[in-house]
Structure 1
Amino acid sequence: MHSKDHIIKSYDQELDRLTGEIARMGELSVTQLEAAIDVVERRDERAALRVVENDDAIDAMETEISHDVVRLLALRAPMARDLREVFAALRIAADIERIGDYGANVAKRAIPLSMVAPITHARSLRRLSELAAVAVRKVLAAYREGDAEAAYQVWEDDVKLDEAYTGLFRELLTYMMEDPRSITPCTHLLFMAKNIERIGDHATNIAENVWFLVKGEALEATRKKGDETSGPELEEGI
């Protein structure tokens, strides 16, 4: 009996450690985004390069988490809720890795943007990034606390980020039509904005995984989309 209790306690500790690692990885990805927006505003090419290089740390953490998941599956053979915990960890880590990639992409775009005349619309990215950062932090808190309802709220609130993205998209297109000289910097901003909007989508992916983890069933509702932009997809290949 004591041996079984020890095994259960040990397994719980491993799951707690895994959750903690994912939370740290998530916070690093949000910090990556915030640093990227900072270098856009400061027009700092060297700092932008450092942000891009920092993405390696997030990639390394995802690899380590993947190894931990494989080890847990092999050694513990989890069932039911425990199995959902392990698979949720794997999926959430993958989403966080993508969030880090999108933050790095914003920093990459900041480099050529710093070489052209500044435009006031660059400041609009901050509002968009703040919405994305709040979504990621809230959904990570929901994951740590096993709060399905809080995760659902993040999932539902993604429409606000979509609407902000749509507004900025239209604003930039109008500016480009009015002043052809702004086409190059505005194009960079459009790609940046799309990367940030995609961060919001990955936050909703995490929310869906938290819901499934806690409830044991998929989140079946249809999510509202506030992205009303049309035309070719702006997402960059990563």
Structure 2
Amino acid sequence: MSRHLQRDLDSLHREILSLSGLVEEMIEKSIQSLFNRSFPLAEEVIAADELTDQKEVLIEEECLKMLALHQPVAVDLRRIATVMKVNNDLERIGDLTVNIAERAKCLVQYPNFEIPRRMERMVDITRKMVAGALDAFVGLDSQAAMNVRHLDDDVDTLNREIIYELQERMKASQAEIEPGLHCFSASRHIERIADHASNIAEDVIYLVEGEIVRHQPGLSS
């Protein structure tokens, strides 16, 4: 590997870590805004989206520039390709936190609406998946990445249970319909964040093992 390629890879690594930290902060604030009915926190999440978009574009441009200038092969090529994919997933997670924040703003006017208790568990697993996927990426740990993928089924199950509970509550009381729909949407957005964390984990496995595991039979996705 040339010295210039190594320098650019190191710079790219710092940029993707910076985006990761920003997105994790957005996840935390969006969840707090939802459970605490915090309009100001929701606004902070929405305002941060522009910066995540800017960082995502910058990282993609750097990746394309490196492919053109250095024409990397083997593991270096896989690393740049993986960063491009992780970059996209992080940007989409950022978008989903904005969606959660928007639902939180709507729920501010329903202070007595009870968020399903299962959602706390789903949020905890989703946080663990995002952090675990990013740690696996930094540590080039394919086993840790595989463990992240296995958690996705738990999130899917909890999401289905939450949706069923909300549907039953909306059937029983008309007053539950509007806040229930906002909560329904928030649950789906959290579930989608877990999906993107699973995607990142799959990308780590590709980077380390050189194997594409997405859509393989018998593996969660």
Q: Do they fold alike, i.e. is TM over 0.5?
A: yes
Pairwise CA distance, 1:64: 0.9
Residue 131 of structure 2 is aligned to residue 128 of structure 1: no
Conserved? CA contact 1:33–1:129, under 8 Å: no
Q: 2:199 aligns with which of 205, 209, 226?
A: 205
Residue 216 of structure 1: aligned partner: 210
Letter in 1 for 2:109: M
Residue 66 of structure 1: aligned partner: 60
Residue 57 of structure 1: aligned partner: 51
Pairwise CA distance, 1:13: 3.2
Q: Output the CA distance in 2 between the equivalents of 1:103 and 1:190.
A: 15
Unmatched 5+ stretches in structure 1: 1-6, 226-238
Letter in 1 for 2:167: L
Moved more, 94-103 or 29-38: 29-38
Conserved? CA contact 1:121–1:172, under 8 Å: no
Pairwise CA distance, 1:221: 4.1
Query: 1:88-237 counterparts in 2 under 5 A?
Result: 88-121=82-115, 124-219=118-213, 220-224=216-220
Unmatched 5+ stretches in structure 2: none
- Tell me the TM-score normalised to structure 2 length: 0.92
Q: 1:15 aligns with which of 9, 32, 37?
A: 9
Pairwise CA distance, 1:46: 3.2
- Tell me the TM-score normalised to structure 1 length: 0.86
Letter in 2 for 1:106: I
Q: Output the CA distance in 2 between the equivalents of 1:135 and 1:62.
A: 21
Q: Output the CA distance in 1 between the equivalents of 2:136 and 2:220.
A: 21
Pairwise CA distance, 1:168: 1.2
* Identity score, percent: 31
Q: Output the CA distance in 2 between the equivalents of 1:127 and 1:114.
A: 22
Conserved? CA contact 1:36–1:103, under 8 Å: yes
Spell out structure 1 runs of 4+ moving beyond 4 A: none
User: What's the RMSD between the two structures over aligned residues?
Assistant: 1.7
CA shift digits 1:49-101 (9 cap, x unpaired): 22111111111110110111011112111011111111110011000000010
CA shift digits 1:14-47 (9 cap, x unpaired): 2233223212212221211210121123322233
Moved more, 10-19 or 133-142: 10-19
Aligned residues: 219
Q: Output the CA distance in 2 between the equivalents of 1:24 and 1:92.
A: 13
